[in-house]
Structures are given as structure tokens and as C-alpha cells.
Structure 1
Amino acid sequence: MRDPFPFPPLPALNKAVQPYVEQYSLPTLPLHIHEVFGAALFYTFIHLVVSPVISNWFFPKHYPKNSRGKKANWDAHVVSLVQSTLINGLALWVMFTDKERKGMVDWQQRVYGYTGAAGMVQALAAGYFVWDLVTTVLFLDVFGLGLLAHAFSALLVYSFGFRPFLNYYGCVFILYELSTPFLNIHWFFDKLNMTGSRAQLYNGIALLFTFFSCRLIWGTYQSVCVYADMWQAIHSSPDAGYIAATHSNSTTLTDPDANIMAFATDATPIPLWLAGIYVGSNIVLNMLNWHWFFKMITAVKKRFEPPREVKVEAKSLDGAASTGAKPKAVATTLHRRRHSIEDVVPDSDDLRDGTIQ
């Protein structure tokens, strides 16, 4: 499927990145560099202009105008909400409509194959992580090292796609973001004094479900799949006869719009350093996801602590106090309220502070 981005590549940008294309073997970068820069500028515009205007307009009493850190956190959540909603929709659309991507049925095509539509999704994601990395560095005291590691690892992983490398898996791992809209909405409910509301309850259930199913189940399974494909690619390169057979017309063999293996004609086994960096970054992201999920579970478990007995000092009614007698300690059990569905709504400092992505 051709790149559906409505604007063509810019010759000036292509020329500017050409040295990096040759140095780091990124042949598809010139086809998508305008999308990377466009996405980074788009999200910067939302951060610096759209979020302050819209937030001041609709939530003048809650938008933190006078706090650098809180304002940056609020604006970043607006950007994250827009980006996650947009990129999820695009990734799902490409996965359902890109017939060439659907045809990537073996490890050679999944590792070395390329389609313009999947490349666009990867480029837009990379543009967001460029913005994310820069913003996290500028406000490191607000977002912390965990989010810095998340931004750097994600940008590194999506940049490898311009080799092209694992272009097929770009849309797959974007679906991590399916839980992010609910995460941001949960955060905004807290800031709008809607903590514990029925709306937050329903959103909290959706958050836990999507976080667990998309990031932990889907994400871990796909990580195993990509490790298996990379293991094959470390030990062997695409067969030249196999590449030629993927398209019958030799004149379009190197045309990326006609042949998904167009960039694999001179492909060699992937180097160990590339596989190592990719696996390391992927493990960092997965560990952060499990870490954040267990923080949510810990927050929920606190609401189900068993009742405890406490000693309550009680004065005797028969005048023990006036006679100097020591009042008896009466053991009283503090009964907890009956559990309700509201108990499943995750509530932790990480969620309230926005340190989970």
C-alpha cells in the first residue's frame, strides 16, 4: 500500500538527512522524514498553543497557569491524548486495509519487508517520540528518568524501521497505545475534581482491561514473535531468488510501491548490535509496562486489606475514673465497608502525577 500521507516529501529535508541515510543505512528515511518533522512540529504546536488555549477556555479554574511543572504535565497529557487516539486509529486502519502488509507471512518479509502505509505510521510515531524525548529532557525534574527511558527506547526502536527493519511490527507495537487515551482521561478526572465519579469508574475499568490485554498480553506475545523472527535474520539473509519471486516484473523489482522486498535486494544478516539494541529497548518498554501494571494492582489491593483490631481506651461507667482505677482496654474491630465495583478503579501517585505512559 502506498504512503497515504497527503503531502509529498520535501527535497530540502531529503538532502539534509542524506548523510545520515548513508552513514546509518536508513534508505527509507527520505521517504518519510517530512512526516517525522511534521508530527514533531504538530505535537509541539498542540503543547505550546492548542493545549493552553483550549484548557484556559474550558477549564479556567483547573488549568495550572502559574506552575511550570504542573502546566507542562497538563499540556503533555493533552498531547498524549491527541497522539494516542490518532496513531491508534491510523495503525488499525493500516492493519485492516494494507493488503501488502497482510501478505507478509514469513520471517523474511516481516523483518525486511516494507510498505509505504506502515512506514507512515512508523514515521508519525517517531515524530511523536522526538517531541516526547525533547520535552522530557527539558522537564526532567517533572517527568523523571522512567519516562526519559521510555521516550529514548521508543524513538530508538521506531528509528530502526527506516533501514527498513521490522516495518511490519511498527503497527503491531503501536497498539500498546490503546490504553493511553483511558490513562489520560483518568488523569484528567483527578485534576477536574471528579475522583471517584461514575465516569471515572467506567474509564478505570476500561483502562485496566486495555492496559493488561494490549500491553501485557498482546505486547509480550508479539515481543516473543519478533525475537523469533530476529533470531532467523541473525543467522541468514533473504534469498535473492526468493526476493525476485516476490514480484514477477523485474523492472519494478526495486520499486517500494510495487514490491514489499524492494529494499532487501542487498540485505545481509542483521548485525548482533542491531538485534541487541532492539531487544534491549523492547525489554525496557515491557519491564516498564509490567512495573506500572503492578503499581496499579498494588493500589487496588490496598482497598481490600482485611479488617484489623485496635485497642480503644474506654472509661468505666461505674466511676472507675473517680476512684483511680485503671480503665479497661476494650478490643474493638473496625469493620470495613462492603466492597463495591468502585474498588477496581486504580489509584496511585503514578497515575495522579502522570508518571505512567
Structure 2
Amino acid sequence: MSVNSTLASSQATIQTVDPLLKYSWFPQSKNYYALHLHEIVYAFLFYQFISSYIAPMINAFIFRERYTSIKDKKLKIDFDIHVVSMVQAFVSLYIIWPVLTLPLFTYNIATYQNDYCSMITALSSGYFVWDLIVCLKYIHIYGFQFLIHAIVALYGSLVPLMPVVQVWVPKFLVYEASTPFVNINWFIMQLTTPPSSSTLKPVKVPLWFNALNGVCLMAVFFIVRIVWGNLAQFMFFYQMFKYRHEMSTLKATLSFVLALVTLVLNMLNFFWFDKMLKIAKKLASPSNKNKKKD
């Protein structure tokens, strides 16, 4: 079998059709931002709906008085945001699956475009538009660090629509595999350590469940963000260098900034993983066990 036929055979198993493209407001446009604008807007409205209506209902149903009695505005918003984050993580992991096997070294990152990958980056952009608005609206609560993160994330999701580096879209979104465990860990903390102003007693979460989630969080975080994240970073820079002459000045500049952004985020992953290790070490220390027995 020839190389071309092998490639054609493998490509046939990879999703390339955007099922939402038929709803485009500008179906004849050659500009991918206009072509996929409807997906950005619909995704934003979807997450806004989840935040305003579904998240409060879910939190009230699951956590009951521990949610409904909250007087701290920031904490209540945090509950809803973590639900939206959980939904976004599962949506992202679901939609990237059909293109996760796109071969990295087969396609030219300067020119490759896949309608399905464009859909993914558009839907992700819609979420990060929502995230940016939330950070702007509550900047007095969350501060500039979350606002900067939202701006960086939105930038990273919009650049591939030029199109450029689209083959990397599903590869970097696989980071979201650790998000559900992060959110579960946050919810456990809210149950076991209620606010000092609250009269509610701490909930006893089974130790095995807490430990299992902690192990899964650290394992998945290490695999997708530390191991894969840094390997991907190296390959991304390599491809940027390899195809730099085939990119326009604008594409090359924006892609280079994107590469630097992912590098900074990868450095932050080391910081967060180190923090996880210290917390795990503290919880496993003999002194901490003795305190629990007492």
C-alpha cells in the first residue's frame, strides 16, 4: 500500500465535517471567523444559560442548604462557575475525540484547515468569551490574575481560526482531562470545611473517595499537563520553526505569541503540580494522621 493511500485510509477515520456549519450566518464567507461566528455566539449563550439557570439548580439540588444559605457572593459564584467549568471540560473532551488522532507531522501547520477543528476552536472561544465577561464583571472579586488568564485563553482559542496550527487544537485541549478532578476536589473542600460564618457542620466525605479523586487528579494532571504538555511544547516549537517561512507575517507573529503563552502555562503547571505534591505530603504525614485520630 502506498504512503498516499495509507494516509487517505487513516484520514477517512478522522472527522473533518463540521455538523454545525449548515447553520452558519455567513455560509459563503472565506473568512473562518465569519464562517464560524454562529458557533462562538451559540457556545457563549449555552454557557451563560448553564451559569444563570442550570448551575444554580444543580447546586441547590446536590448541596441543598450548603448552597442556598450562602451569603458570601464570591463563594456562591464559585459554586456556579465550577459547574460550568465541569460542563465545559466534558464538552471539550467529547468533541475533540474524533480528531485526537490527527497525525502531528503529516500536515503543514501553516496551511492545514479542518472544518471540525474550526468548530472546536469556535466553541472553545465561545466559552472563553463567557469566562472573560465573568472575570470583567467580577474583577473586584477575582482580581487581575483571573482576567489575564481569561484573555490568554481566549487568545489561544481564536488564533487557530486564521487558520493556523489547527492540528494542535485537540492536542492542547486534552489538558481538560484533569479539570473534572480539580472541580470535584474543590467541591469536597466546600463540604468538609464550611465557611467560618456558617452554622452548618462539616460533611464527612468517605476517605477512600477523597483519596481516589486525589490520586486520579495527580496522575491525570501529571500525564496530560506535565508529560504530554512539555512534549507537545517541544514539538510545537519545532513545527513553528519548520514552517515559519510558509506563514504570513501576521500568522507567524500571532503563532509565536501563542507558543510563548503555552510555554508560560506549562511553567504554571509545574507550579500547581508542586503544590499538589506538598498538599498530598502534608495529608499523608504522621502528625496529620494523629490529629485525625484525636
RMSD: 2.5
1:183 aligns with 182
Distance in 1 (alpha carbons) for counterparts of 2:169 and 2:267: 19
The one-letter amino acid of 1:58's match is: I
Shift of 1:268: 3.5
1:279 aligns with 259
58, 64, 73: which one pairs with 1:60?
64
Which runs of 5 or more residues in structure 1 are unaligned?
Answer: 19-25, 238-266, 308-334, 339-357
Distance in 2 (alpha carbons) for counterparts of 1:70 and 1:303: 24
> What percent of counterpart residues are identical?
29
Instruction: Output aligned runs, 1:148-163, within 5 Å.
Output: 148-163=147-162
- TM-score scaled by length of structure 1: 0.67
Matched, 1:212 2:222: yes
Distance in 2 (alpha carbons) for counterparts of 1:280 and 1:196: 42
Instruction: Output aligned runs, 1:176-255, within 5 Å.
Output: 176-192=175-191, 193-195=203-205, 197-234=207-244, 236-237=245-246
Instruction: Output aligned runs, 1:260-339, within 5 Å.
Output: 268=248, 273-303=253-283, 337=289
1:4 aligns with 19
Contact 2:128 2:153 (8 Å CA) reproduced? yes
Distance in 1 (alpha carbons) for counterparts of 2:61 and 2:288: 42
Which runs of 5 or more residues in structure 2 are unaligned?
Answer: 1-15, 192-202
1:243 aligns with none
The one-letter amino acid of 2:268's match is: L
1:50 aligns with 54
Contact 1:9 1:34 (8 Å CA) reproduced? yes
53, 73, 77: which one pairs with 2:78?
73
Distance in 1 (alpha carbons) for counterparts of 2:210 and 2:282: 19
Describe the SS at the equivalent of 2:71. Answer: coil
Distance in 2 (alpha carbons) for counterparts of 1:187 and 1:194: 15
Shift of 1:337: 4.7
Distance in 1 (alpha carbons) for counterparts of 2:72 and 2:260: 36
1:273-332 Cα offsets, whole Å, 9 max, x none, are: 324321221122112222211111222233466x8xxxxxxxxxxxxxxxxxxxxxxxxx
Could you list the structure 1 runs, at least 4 aligned residues long, displaced by more than 4 angstroms after superposition: 269-272, 335-338
Describe the SS at the equivalent of 1:63. Answer: helix
Shift of 1:140: 2.4
Distance in 2 (alpha carbons) for counterparts of 1:181 and 1:336: 27
Describe the SS at the equivalent of 1:4. Answer: coil
2:196 aligns with none
Shift of 1:136: 1.6
Matched, 1:28 2:27: no
Describe the SS at the equivalent of 2:100. Answer: helix
Distance in 2 (alpha carbons) for counterparts of 1:194 and 1:118: 43
Distance in 1 (alpha carbons) for counterparts of 2:21 and 2:164: 24
Distance in 2 (alpha carbons) for counterparts of 1:113 and 1:194: 52
